[in-house]
Structure 1
Amino acid sequence: MDPAVRFGIKARYPGACGLCGAPVAVGERIFQLPKKRTGAGGRWVCAACRFPDPERVIDVAFLVRKLEQRLLHGPSYTPTMAEVDLIVTVMGYVDPLEEGELLILRRLQEAQLARRCPTFGRAKVATLLARMNAAAPR
């Protein structure tokens, strides 16, 4: 295994995590995802994305940041089960949903029951992002 994948490197420039969009300061440890999990350009991620952290706070602001990142840089988005649970909860509190949003909500509810994370393309990610932005506390 490549040392940058296993041990990471210190960031030389400020930037953002390639998956969650969290800010990365100079000197913080970043990791390159293994080739089987990256696209053509490779992807540098924060430690919390490289090694799943059960203590990581998954809130609406985090979800909005991750959806924006996936909409800009990725062809698809596969939420974790914690993110699926949060999306279903938030969409339950939002005023009337459109037909496309109801289909996404049903798919997420089925995923909750099956405990399998669905994958969404760009159009559905854009719909989720709009709904999460509407629900985000200001």
Structure 2
Amino acid sequence: MKIAIGNDHAGTDYKNAVVTYLKKEGYQVTNYGTDTNESVDYPDFVHPVADAVENNKADFGIIICGSGNGANMTANKHQKVRSALCWTKEITELARQHNDANILSIPARFTSEPQAVEMVKTFLKTEFEGGRHQKRVEKIACS
């Protein structure tokens, strides 16, 4: 499975922890994020992740910024993206089961690194339920 990951300066340490987990589990990872803690603009690192998911170059994306909001808003500008801002394992599970989220947005300033890794595990192992949720997901895109 191919995973695209991107982060701003607030998410560098989180990204490194997530990438370590992903590689250990055998996932293919493309890092679009910054590797420093120097201030950067999150859209520069989120758009490539969303492009990769939108154009089927990655199966899923993970994006990380301080609040998770800016990254999430940026990713959701892409028509085939359903990015979910999650801060607990339970919300992450529902984002996959009910909303078929294909990008996980993590708020680094409101979660711990172990929580972030746990959310990634949950995100990648949880299946979309389809059924009654399918018609709702089909109504999300504007085009």
TM-score by length of 1: 0.32
Q: Which has the larger radius of gyration?
A: 1
Query: When the two structures are superposed, what TM-score results if normalisation uses the length of structure 2?
Result: 0.31
